[in-house]
Every structure is written in C-alpha cells, then in structure tokens.
Amino acid sequence: MPKPLVKSGAEIDGYTIGECVHAGGMATLWTVTHSGIDVPLLMKIPRVSEGEDPAAIVSFEMEMMILPRLAGPHVPSCFGTGDFAHQAYVVIERIVGTTLYKRLPDLPLPYEEARQLVTKIATALADLHRQNVIHHDIKPSSIMFRGSGEAVLIDYGLSHHNHLPDLLQEEFRLPYGTAPYMAPERLQGVRDDPRSDLFSLGVLLYFFTTGERPFGEGETLRAMRRRLWRDPYPPRSLRADYPPWLQEVVLRCLEIEPEWRYPTASQLAFDLAHPDQVKLTTRSERLKRDPLSVAWRRRFNLGVMQPRAKADVAAQIASSPILAVALDTVEGAPELNEALRVTTERILATLPSARLACVNVLKLNRIAIDKTLDEQGSNKHIDRLVALRHWATPLKLDESRLSVHVLEAVDPAAALLEFAEVNQVDHLIIGAGQGSFRRTRLGSVSAKVLSETACTVTVVRPPRMAAAKPGAGVVWG
C-alpha cells in the first residue's frame, strides 16, 4: 500500500489538506478546501499503518459505500471518496457545532429538554431507516445538530445497509460497537434489525435523564452478555420525580426482545412528541428490576434471543406506518364518518403494527374572538376529544396504537399538513365531503391536502357519492 499522502498543505484529488481536527481510534479528520465547492469540508481518512485495528479498514469501506447513498438534512452531505489503491478518504460537509458528547457534564438534563433532543434524534433515525440503513453506533459523540435544529447522525463505519454487503458481518465474529449502547441481539450476530438503534437511543435517553447508564460501563463481552437476560433498574428507582410516561418510553426502548420495543423510530418520535398520549402500562410504575428468578429463566431459555432470519428494513418500516384520519365531528355527516371508519379498519387489518392518530381541527375565526364553550356550556376541545375516542371505539385498537388530537387553527388544511409533516404520518385518510371538491369547505381542505402533502392520501366519499363509481375511496401517493 502506498505511503499515506496526508499532511497539511498536501493535495489529494483537488482537495487541499488543512489541519487535523480529530484523531480517533479508527480514523482522522482533516479540514480541506476545493476550488469548486464553497461549503466547509472535512476529509475522513482511515488509520492503516502497522499495528492498527484491521476492523478500521473494513468499517471505512462500509462508510465509503454508504455515505454517498444518503441524502437529507439528517446526514452529512458527501462530496467525494477515494479508494485504497491511492489514498482512501471520504469528504463530507463540516457541520458547525459540537457533538452531543459535550453535554455529558450537564447530566442529568431537565426532562423537557431531553425529550426535545431525543425526539429530534428519533426523527433523524426514522429518516435513516427509510434509506435502508441501520446506524449501529448511536451514542452522544455520533450526534450533532444543525443551526436549523435538525439532528444529524454521523459516523457510518459500523452501519448496515440493506442493499449492500455487510463486510463487518462477513469478516468478524465479535460485535463491533460502543459497549454501553449495544443492543442485546447484536451480541447474537443480528445486524439487520432497525430496532437495535431504538435500544441504543433508549440507553441515551435513560443516561441523559438519570445521569447513569442503564447497563454501567462494562466493556467486556461477558459484561455485555448480561443484558441478554438482565433488565436495568427502572429510572423511577433513581429519581423519584421521574415522569411515568417517560419511564414507559425508556423501558419500552430497552426491552430485551426487539419485538417488545417500538416497531419504528417514527412511532417512538410520535410518543415523544405527544407525552400526554403515551399509553401507560406496568412499565411506568416499576421501581425494581425483574426478580432473579425471571432473569435466570431468560438466561436458560434456549428459545430466547436466537439469531433470526434475515430481515428487510424497508418491509419492517412499511408494516408499521403512522396513519392519520381527519374527522369532522361537528358538521361531518354520519354516513361519511362511517365510511371513514370502514376504510380505516380495512387498512389497519393489513397492518397489525400500524399506529392510528384521529385528528379533528377546531376552526378558529380570523378576526372575532373564539369562545371556549359551546351554546350548551360544554368545552369544545374536550367534547371533540371525546367524540374522536367514541368514533375509534369500534376499531378495537390497543390504546398504545391509538391517539386523538384536536388542532386549533384558522386554516384546517394547513393544520393537517403541518400535523402530517411534524409527526411523520405515512398515510392520511380524509373525507371528500358531500359535494364537489371545489364547492364545499371540506372538499377544499381535501384538495389542498392532496396537492401539498408528501404522504399517501386516501380520499373517502360517503356512500351516496360513491354510488356512481365503484370503490370506497381514491388513493393518492
């Protein structure tokens, strides 16, 4: 292999090397400039000298394959790569700021601040998973934030891409990663389950809200294997004021079996964004770990945590979408609301891990002062929440899969569009109203939602409108 060309002032493929800003265990980071690129850049170069960890080369190969395939605000933009024949490197945008690692002296963070931070990280993870990538090294030093607020995930040397060879899996028996954040199934060689990232994010949330890591600092394989059968101390045993909803979220992320965690990062982000809608179970009340008898049964149960068949990241995400149904609980005709329920039930029947959000918009006046109570003296907001619950009752959904939301807005269509975007809604179901799209108020809402939303939309017509044409609704992507 040629002698490395890296030193300040050197030029590689048109990139002029500046200063070394970081020297890690597997790679170094250098500032670089290029005459044709006007944004701050970093060049990442692997350690390949005598005595270096051979995994550094393999992980860098993975990063060179994965980074150019990624896009969006939650990943660093990639501008170029170089191969090992001349000089291996990856050039990425230099994101202003520091990693979340700098916040460790501030722990534990206030609950609300931690919630907001981790909601952004979960949103970034959801975007990454939709691009067929599992990060496998979620930790404070792998997370940054743009000036605009979005979380950015960095360092993809340990990642798995569903459409690329997994070189780490093929060439090494031991799991690579950061021990305190590693999911139990990783110790069994499972690298294709996106819920492993949710476990790591649960560790981070536990750490940032209690100041202690749920599984300690042990880095030996023996110490890590304990999490295959031993659960952590519940956060409420460490902090008496720990919110029950937050413990519910944290302990669900830290479930030993992936099937008991959130099915997707989007659903985790949804719960974090709506803590008042989190379904509380016995997890939220726990003050002690599981008894030793339970831990020993897990340890010697040969059916637990065995390697699974190869998973498909995209298929798993597709089977666990967030659905939203927009309902008019006041002016909507009973026939239309029933048609919306029938359509929603049919969709949910094929998606047993889907989550449903029932949404109503309480339209505000542009000029006049709005009244909280109706003519009968009832609170409008509360009445609509109750009506949404009543509408959803026949669906017989587990409460952990259902939430109800009353939005207050002057523009109902804009409110629905914002709700769908902020909550990463995959499929929006909305009624077409009783007349044409152009002539009715609800129809105009449907038309605007159809034209501007990025998610799939199903427009449902009431029976007497659908009679002229077969089918209960029209689906728009």
Give the domain CATH number at 423. Answer: 3.40.50.620
Q: Kindly report the CATH number assigned to the domain that includes residue 162.
A: 1.10.510.10
pLDDT of 50 above 70? no
Question: Does residue 4 lie within any of the structural domains?
Answer: no
Integer Cα distance of 169 and 309 in angstroms? 14
Lowest mean pLDDT among 28-32, 192-196, 473-477: 473-477
Question: Residue 435 pLDDT > 70, yes or no?
Answer: no
278 within domain boundaries: yes
- Say whether both 78 and 157 belong to one domain: no
- Do 397 and 298 belong to one domain? no
* In a shared domain, residues 16 and 61: yes
Confidence of residue 456 (pLDDT cuts 50, 70, 90): very high
Residue 1 lies in a domain: no
User: What is the torsional sign of CA 232, 238, 243, 246?
Assistant: negative
Which of 72, 93, 114 is the last residue in one of the domains? 93
Give the model's confidence band at 376: pLDDT under 50 very low, under 70 low, under 90 confident, else very high.
low
Q: How far is CA 246 from CA 239, 250, 263, in A?
A: 12, 6, 18
Is the model's pTM score more than 0.85?
Answer: yes
pLDDT value for 282: 96
Q: What is the pLDDT of residues 94-139, one digit of tens each?
A: 999 899 999 999 999 999 999 999 999 999 999 999 999 999 999 9
pLDDT at 4 (0 to 100): 54
Task: Identify the band that residue 49 occupies on the pLDDT scale cut at 50, 70 and 90.
Answer: low
Q: How far apart are CA 155 and CA 258, in angstroms?
A: 24
| pLDDT reported for residue 109 | 98
d(CA 255, CA 258): 7
pLDDT at residue 304 is higher than 80 = no
Q: Is residue 5 part of a domain?
A: no
Of 44, 66, 93, the last residue of a domain is 93
Q: Is pLDDT above 50 for 409? A: yes
Give the tens place of pLDDT for each residue, 171-221: 776 788 899 999 999 998 899 999 999 999 999 999 999 999 999 877 788
DSSP H/E element including 442? helix 441-452
Give residue 370's pLDDT. 55
Strand partners, 316: none
The pLDDT value recorded for residue 432 is 83
282-298 pLDDT per residue, tens: 999 999 999 888 888 88
Q: Which of the two residues, 32 and 167, has the higher pLDDT score?
A: 32
We report the CATH number of the domain holding residue 74 as 3.30.200.20
What is the reported pLDDT for 269?
98
Tell me, yes or no, whether 237 lies in a domain. yes
pLDDT at 1 over 90: no
The CA–CA distances, whole Å, from 276 to 116, 225, 242, 407 equal 14, 35, 15, 15
Say yes or no: 143 and 290 in one domain: yes
Asked if 295 and 384 sit in the same domain, the reply is no
Domain count, the chain: 3
The pLDDT tens digits for 359-375 are 999 888 765 555 666 56
Residue 2 included in any domain: no
* Letter string b/e over residues 44-83, b meaning 16 or more CB atoms within 10 A of that residue's CB: bbbbbeeeeeebbbbbbbbbbbbbeebeeebbbbbbbbbe
Please indicate, yes or no, whether residues 115 and 85 belong to a single structural domain of this protein. Answer: no
Helix (H, G, I), strand (E, B) or coil at 452: helix
Q: What percent of the chain has pLDDT over 70?
A: 87
244 and 145 within one domain: yes
Mean predicted confidence (pLDDT) in 249-273:
97
| pLDDT per residue as tens digits for the range 323-350 | 999 998 876 678 889 999 999 999 999 9
Looking at residue 92, its pLDDT comes to: 97
Range of the domain at 442: 321-476
* pLDDT value of position 221: 83
Residue 472 pLDDT grade (very low, low, confident, very high; cuts 50, 70, 90): very low
Q: What is the pLDDT of residues 67-82, one digit of tens each?
A: 999 999 999 999 999 9
- Confidence label for 474 from pLDDT (cuts 50, 70 and 90): very low
What average pLDDT does the segment 407-416 reach? 92
Q: Is 235 domain-assigned?
A: yes
Residue 307 has pLDDT above 60, yes or no: no
Verify that 54 and 180 share a domain, yes or no. Answer: no
The reply to whether 234 and 277 lie within a common domain is yes
pLDDT at 25: 73
Residue 194 lies in a domain: yes
- State whether 137 and 117 are in the same domain: yes
For residue 113, the surrounding DSSP H or E stretch is helix 111-130
Residue 310 has pLDDT above 70, yes or no: no
Q: Is the pLDDT score of 58 beyond 70?
A: yes
**Residue 52 pLDDT greater than 80, yes or no:** no
Domain boundary among 45, 63, 93: 93
* Residues 352, 412 within the same domain: yes
Residue 174: alpha-carbon gap to chain centroid: 27
Asked if residue 454 and residue 334 are part of one domain, the reply reads yes
Q: Is the pLDDT of residue 473 over 70?
A: no
